[in-house]
Amino acid sequence: MSDPVPDPLPPPPGVWADRWFGIEGVGYRQLLFTVAFLVAVLLAAGEVTRSALIALAVALVVLIQIVAFAARSRPWKARLVLLSPLGHMLALILLQAGTSTVVNADLALLFIAVVNMSLQPGRRAVVLATLGAAAVVAAPFVLSTTERSTDFVENELVIVPMAALFVALGAWGVTNMLQARTEALLRLHAGQRATLADLRDNRDELSRTSENLRATVELAMGLVEAATEHAIIATDSKGAIEIFNRGAESMLAYARADAIGTSVEHLYDPEQVRAALAEEGLATTDEGRMQVLVGASGPGQPAVREWNYLRRNGTRVPVEVTVTRRPELEDGVEPGYLFVATDLTQRREAERLQDELIGTISHELRTPLSSVLGFLELLGSDEALTDEQREYVDVIERNAKGLLRLVNDLRISVQVSAGALRLSPEPLDLATAVRAAARDIDPVADAAGVRLEVDAPAEVVVRADPVRLNQAFENLLSNGVKFTRRGGSVTIGAHEGTLAAGAPAGVVTVRDTGIGITPEDVDRLTEWFYRTRTARDRRIRGIGVGLPIVKAISDAHGGTLGIESALGEGTTFTLKLPVSGPPR
Ligand code: ADP
């Protein structure tokens, strides 16, 4: 995938210096001495007095050269830097001892050995070089192989070692400096190589990441395009459309090219947007409108709301829009939004048909049921009935009334879902109302072996719809009886109280000693057709519309419905109604 990065760094120049002057160059450096020595021997051939010594000297020099080239390990090479010149000095002594006159080339050779030795870092080399030089010049006199004047002797013995010291110091200083520089250069070079390797790794990593990113983006775009049942629209922070998928094209009859760059707001029903702005108290500015469209959405936190979208030809499409904030990609660029709209037309139509069906059935059931109840009342008033027959009539009446309550619930549920729950409020004493409801449910409680009690010591007058309230109380009471075991009790109470805002309220409580409800279920009880698992498992009769209706009736009155429950201990429903009646 990635071509190897060429190495733009040649070895630093210090490395050559190291090869020659450093430990690595020990073999080559001796070569100069070896050649010069052999030449000197040839030149002095006529003056050889003791050829054995000369042969020994030559053998020593050649041996040193071989060993210096052959040495492989660094420690050995390091040793040879010192040992080879020492050997050379010895060879010089032998050379002088084996010839009759002073070989003039001796001094030059001696200084080659001195310099070679001083290339070894450390002061020891300087000392040894100086002493070695002194030994070489002193040897002929000590060994008495030459005759010279004392002055000359003194001069040589003093001046040559001093010169050797001076040269050795110079060579040592230069070597040290060169070595320090070479090391610094090598360090720098190593650093550069490491940085280069890092850069290369980073570049490879980056190109891998960008490949992955491209694949992910392609996948995401593929998904967006494949979701033809949903309109997926992405905008910038101001609402300008950037992505408009095929689903959006077919749902809203806009070509993508025309939609991109326009404001997403143009897709919304302006009347609905105005109403939403007024409802939320937002200003009718571009910012206010955008705010109402995106709601409380954040990154990974969707805001869901139903709207009407406008097709290009002006017709409306009911949609459920989920808005999420897009992730922040660049510093300083405000992230935009993602709008995912689902067409609700079919769902709405299905709901309308369902409501129509329920409305028709419940209406059709009510008429014969009312007739059944009317005749049952007539039958019940017949004096000639035996006790057993009267009991049968009671059972029939109880069930028929239960059926009537269910039919009424269904009718109301249709009204509530159509937003058409009508109230006829009038002054009403809640104490009287709860007693009446308890009377209606009493036969059911009796049959279930549950004690029904009323706690309404004083009049509590509110403005409310008596028929609807009676329905709410009966729903709460019949639930209490249904979900309480034989021997338990249900108590309905009416008292004065206040709403959260402090306004005076009539408070009705229905408390039972029944099976109780889990906290998770409590949160969902007012959803249409929701029933707890226990209710379903125990096959307790019901369809899950009783509590949503109580809630709808409470809402329509401007009241509140509270639910408190403990599993196995019982449940208390608290209905608070404003004394002043439903909001106008
Ligand atoms: P239904 O009683 O027809 O099932 P509701 O809407 O009245 O429908 O009640 C919904 C569910 O709430 C019930 O199925 C039951 O699980 C639970 N519930 C309601 N009232 C009580 C109660 N007093 N005690 C325990 N559970 C209750």
pTM above 0.85, yes or no: no
- Are 506 and 497 in contact by the 8 Å Cβ rule? The answer is yes
Scored b (16 or more CB within 10 A) or e, 346-378 reads eeeeeeeeebeebbeebeebbeebeebbeebee
Which residue's alpha carbon is nearest to atom 3 within ligand 1? 542
- In angstroms, what is the span from residue 412 Cα to ligand 1's centroid? 17
CB 486 within 8 A of CB 440: no
Which atom in ligand 1 lies closest to the alpha carbon of residue 547? 6
Q: Is 546 in the pocket of ligand 1 (CB under 6 A)?
A: yes
Ligand 1 binding pocket mutation candidate from 410, 471, 479 (most atoms within 8 A of CB) = 479
- Give the number of C-alpha atoms closer than 13 A to the C-alpha of residue 394, restricted to the C-beta side: 15
What is the predicted pLDDT for the residue at 490? 98
- 508 membership: H or E segment, kind and range: strand 504-512
Read off the tokens for 414: 């249709």
Q: Identify the bridge partners of residue 455 per DSSP, sorted by sequence position.
A: 493
Nearest CA to ligand 1 atom 8: 544
pLDDT at 23: 72
CA distances from 296 to 277, 284, 301, 302, 403 (A): 14, 18, 8, 8, 44
> How does pLDDT run across 302-312, given as a tens digit for each residue?
999 999 999 99
Retrieve residue 456's tokens: 């309404």
For the stretch 111-168, pLDDT in tens is 888 888 887 767 788 888 888 888 888 877 777 655 555 555 666 777 878 888 888 8
Would you state the pLDDT for residue 228?
80
Q: Residue of the nearest CA to atom 20 in ligand 1?
A: 479
Q: Between residues 435 and 68, which one has the greater pLDDT?
A: 435
CA of 42 to the centre of ligand 1 (A): 125
Measured distance CA(37)–CA(408) in Å, rounded: 129
C-beta of 547 in contact with ligand 1 (< 6 A): yes
The two structure tokens encoding residue 420:
């058409």
Query: For residue range 14-24, what is the model confidence (pLDDT) as tens digits?
Result: 455 556 666 77
Secondary-structure percent of the chain, ordered helix, strand, coil, rounded to 5 = 60, 15, 25
Give the model's pLDDT for residue 5.
46
pLDDT in tens, 456-480: 999 999 999 999 999 999 999 999 9
Output DSSP code: residue 120: S
Mutate to test the pocket of ligand 1, among 525, 540, 569 (most ligand atoms within 8 A of CB): 525
Summarised one tens digit per residue, pLDDT across range 323-379 is: 999 887 767 788 899 999 999 999 888 888 888 888 888 888 888 898 999 999 899
Among 100-109, 247-256, 360-369, 373-382, which stretch is predicted with the lowest mean pLDDT? Answer: 100-109
Cα of 229 from ligand 1 centre, angstroms? 37
Within 10 A of 458 (CB to CB), how many other CB atoms are there?
10
Question: Could you tell me if the CB of 490 is within 6 A of ligand 1?
Answer: no
| Residue 281 Ramachandran class (φ > 0 left, ψ -120 to 50 alpha, else beta) | left
Our answer on whether the CB atom of 409 is closer than 6 Å to any ligand 1 atom is no
Q: Kindly state the average pLDDT of the residues 556-578.
A: 95
User: Ligand 1 within 6 A of 582 CB?
Assistant: no
CA dist., res. 191 & res. 196, Å (int): 8
d(CA 323, CA 316): 19
Q: Which helix (H) or strand (E) holds 107?
A: helix 105-118
192-242 pLDDT tens trace: 999 999 999 999 999 999 999 999 888 888 888 887 889 999 999 999 999
